[in-house]
Amino acid sequence: MDLKDKKVPEVVIRRLSRYYRYLDELDKDGKTRISSTALSKKMGVTASQIRQDFNYFGGFGQQGYGYNVQYLLAELKKLLGITNGYRLVIVGAGNLGHAIANYGGLKKRGFKLLGIFDNDKEKIGKKVGNIEISDISKIKDFISENKIDIAILTLPKDATEEVAEMLMDSGVRGFWNFSYTELKSKNEVFVENVHLTDSLMTLSFKISQNRL
Amino acid sequence: MDLKDKKVPEVVIRRLSRYYRYLDELDKDGKTRISSTALSKKMGVTASQIRQDFNYFGGFGQQGYGYNVQYLLAELKKLLGITNGYRLVIVGAGNLGHAIANYGGLKKRGFKLLGIFDNDKEKIGKKVGNIEISDISKIKDFISENKIDIAILTLPKDATEEVAEMLMDSGVRGFWNFSYTELKSKNEVFVENVHLTDSLMTLSFKISQNRL
């Protein structure tokens, strides 16, 4: 499917992974069909919104009969790059780095975690799952030898920009950035800056307003 | 400010914590004024969107002169409940629980982390920062004695719903849920379900489409 000519809105892209999660559950439950109404209820968006979203990608099947769960799931997997087996490294072997490395969802989504790096001598050589933590000084060669696509950054804020530049030069095309700093997407390099506390603040806002 | 009569759209609520982050940076840099144009550039939304957002909360100052950074920041802090000093516990003392407990941003946003709970005998009694990990069997009394507002859940999926029900009965009014399960907000209880991999899938989608 060639989407080059169609600009998919950011908000639609962000819904794709939610569709994927719901369809994956349905698939696990052995369901083979879902109506747009039922999917809409699960997702909390209107059925017409779902049809609009799917129209960016060719529609994914007939409305009258509902959607074929396995077909839709397979298409979503292709779109989301799950079938591409992207290759990852984690930079920063702190608690968050460990948590991400141990998270089964990565493998399930086709990602291949190949390396974990840190500059702390106490950590280098220790294992996370079956991956040994390596010295950050070796990351450049590792990136190019192993054709790493995505780097997960769980670094102190001040180190992030410099490390990201180096990795970009070595060929990394995506950054999943947990450091408290805003990296910018540029040219063919994509960035997702994760600000965990944003959702906590949303929660806090709601509790706070409710008590007024 | 009474917002009870105005329904603030979810997307606006979610932008508030971003406004907060940017304003906080400006404040740290010693800035006292920012024009709506400059703020709009930083946020990546239009100046008119910013004015619309702020109008839900009374406007926050004159356009001609720009916004007063410290005033706006103080108002955002109030809105986001940062000034309320909400009291937290973490349930689940794995890597992610540790990462969150050690994250300085919690304290900065006024949150008070008072307890960490687990059912793993190996973990109980150990310290995270200056908080001792407690036996989950003691959590009910702890919640009511310490007037806990928010529980952060980093639990295995299967245990989550049951634990959440128990905590709700004990008076918890907010859940920041990292478990791979969808808790539902109900009555006066608010939930933020965090699906970390959603943003990774967004990244993966973009890399994938770019390579087509």
Question: What is the mean pLDDT of each successive set of 10 residues along chain B, which is 212 residues long?
Answer: 67 93 94 90 89 87 79 94 96 95 91 97 96 97 96 94 94 94 87 94 94 78
Closest CA to B210 of A193, A167, A109, A174: A174
Q: Are strands A174-177 and A190-193 parallel, antiparallel or unpaired?
A: parallel
From the CB of residue A4, how many other CB atoms can be counted at a distance below 10 Å? 8
Of how many residues is chain A composed? 212
Using only C-alpha atoms, what is the Rg of chain A?
20
A91, two tokens: 């930079």
Give the tens place of pLDDT for each residue, A129-169: 999 999 999 999 999 999 999 999 999 989 999 999 999 99
Beta carbons of B201 and A86 less than 8 Å apart: no
SS (H, E, C) A89-128: EEECCCHHHHHHHCCCHHHHCCCEEEEEEECCCCCCCCEE
Beta carbons of A109 and B204 less than 8 Å apart: yes
Cα distances (Å, whole numbers) of residue A27 to A20, A38, A41, A70, A83: 10, 14, 17, 7, 17
Task: Write out the H or E segment, with its range, that includes residue B30.
Answer: none
Closest CA to A177 of A30, B52, A168, A169: A168
Burial of B29 (0-12, 13-18, 19+ CB in 10 A): exposed
Interface test with B, best of A197, A211, A212 (most B CBs within 10 A): A197
N-terminal to C-terminal alpha carbon distance within chain A: 50
Q: Name chain B contacts of A173, Cβ cutoff 8 Å.
A: 207, 210
pLDDT at A185 over 90: no
Closest A-chain CA to B102 = A95
Which amino acid, one-letter code, is at A1?
M
Beta carbons of B192 and A199 less than 8 Å apart: yes
Q: Which fold has domain B10-79?
A: Arc Repressor Mutant, subunit A (1.10.10)
- Residue B65: what are its φ and ψ, rounded to 5°? -95, 0
The overall average pLDDT reported for chain A is: 91
Structural contact between residues A111 and A88, judged by C-beta atoms closer than 8 angstroms: yes
> Given this model, what pLDDT does residue B62 score?
63
* Placement of tokens 């957002």 in the chain: B53
Mean pLDDT of A118-127: 97
Give the tens place of pLDDT for each residue, A21-79: 999 999 999 999 998 888 999 888 898 899 899 999 887 776 667 889 999 999 999 99
From the CB of residue B1, how many other CB atoms can be counted at a distance below 10 Å? 11
Q: Which fold has domain B85-197?
A: Rossmann fold (3.40.50)
- Multiple choice CATH, A10-80, 3.30.360.10, 3.90.230.10, 1.10.10.10, 3.40.50.12780: 1.10.10.10
Give the tens place of pLDDT for each residue, B63-111: 667 889 999 999 999 999 999 999 999 999 999 999 999 998 899 999 9
Closest A-chain CA to B79 = A205
> Given this model, what pLDDT does residue B4 score?
47
> Given this model, what pLDDT does residue B104 score?
85
| Domain span(s) for CATH 3.40.50.720 in chain B | 85-197
Beta carbons of A14 and B192 less than 8 Å apart: no
Q: What whole-number distance in Å separates Cα of residue B83 and Cα of residue A129?
A: 41
Structural contact between residues A134 and A148, judged by C-beta atoms closer than 8 angstroms: no
In which band, very low, low, confident or very high, does the pLDDT at A212 lie, cut at 50, 70 and 90? confident
Q: Provide the 3-class DSSP secondary structure of residue B212.
A: coil
| Domain span(s) for CATH 1.10.10.10 in chain A | 10-80
Q: How far is A191 from chain B (nearest CA, A)?
A: 7
Residue partners of A122: CB distance under 8 A and separation at least 6: none
User: In this complex, which of A95, A100, A201 lies closest to B109 when CB atoms are compared?
Assistant: A201
Q: What whole-number distance in Å separates Cα of residue A186 and Cα of residue A10?
A: 16
Q: Which residues pair with B5 in a beta bridge?
A: none
Interface A-B, measured as beta-carbon pairs within 8 A, has a size of 185
| Domain span(s) for CATH 1.10.10.10 in chain B | 10-79
> Given this model, what pLDDT does residue B59 score?
78
Q: How far is B64 from chain A (nearest CA, A)?
A: 29
Q: What whole-number distance in Å separates Cα of residue A193 and Cα of residue B113?
A: 25
